[in-house]
Structure 1
C-alpha cells in the first residue's frame, strides 16, 4: 500500500499533497474492500480531473491491492508500511557495502547470517498494540502462529 501511495503522490502538486493524502487515507483505512472502492470513487470525483493518473493507478492495480482489505484492521496497520523490512535491508546493506567482493557465495551467506543475528538482538521494542495484533494473527492464521509463540 505504501508503495502505491508513493507512486500516486509523485503525480500530485506539492500544494495539494497534504489534502490529497488526507483524502486518500479514507481509501486505505476503509473497513472493507467495498467501502474502499466507494471512497476511491469519491476521491476520483474530487481529484480525478486534476490528477487522473494518480487515481488510475489504483484502479489498474486493484487486483493486487484488494486482498489487503480482507485482513482485520490490527493486521493491516503493520502490513501497509514497509519500515521494518526497509530497516532490516538497510542493516544488511551496511555490512556488505564496504566489501566489494566475497571469495565465495558461502562467505556472503555467513556474513548476512551473522549480521541478521545482530540486527534481531536489537529488536526489543514492542510494537504498538501488539497484543491485539497477535490475537488477530492467531485467529486469522490458525495453527501457523501458535507454534512460533
Structure 2
C-alpha cells in the first residue's frame, strides 16, 4: 500500500513541534499536561494584557500615545483552576482600579474548559501563538 503524500506545510509544523518537544525535554504525558498548563497561562496573560491595552488606549510601552489619565499599575497574581490543574496567571492592573477583565473576570476561580479547548484546538491546527493571541484579543 502506497503512503499518502503529506502536505509539506503540515510536515514542517510536525518537525517544529518535534524539535520543540525535544528542546523542552518532554518525555511523558505529565510533561505534556504541564506544557499545556503553562501555555494556557501564557495565552491568558497575553489576552488580559490585550484587554488592558484596549481599556487604556495604548500598548504597554507606547505611553507617549497615552490619551487618558489612567495608566498601568503592575500585575496581581491570580489562581485559577483548569482541567490541567491550577494556573497562576498574572492579571494586569490599572491605577484607578477601573479595569474589568472579560477573559478571566475578577473573583473567578475556575476558567472554562471551553476556552482551554479552543486555545489547544487552534494550536493543534497549526495557528501560531501570535495568531491565537490576536484572536483572544479580538474576543
For Structure 1 versus Structure 2, the TM-score category normalised by the shorter chain is 0.3 to 0.5
Q: If each structure's strand is expressed as a fraction of its own residues, which one has the higher value? A: 2
Bigger Cα Rg = 1
| Higher-helix-fraction structure | 1
TM-score (norm 1): 0.35
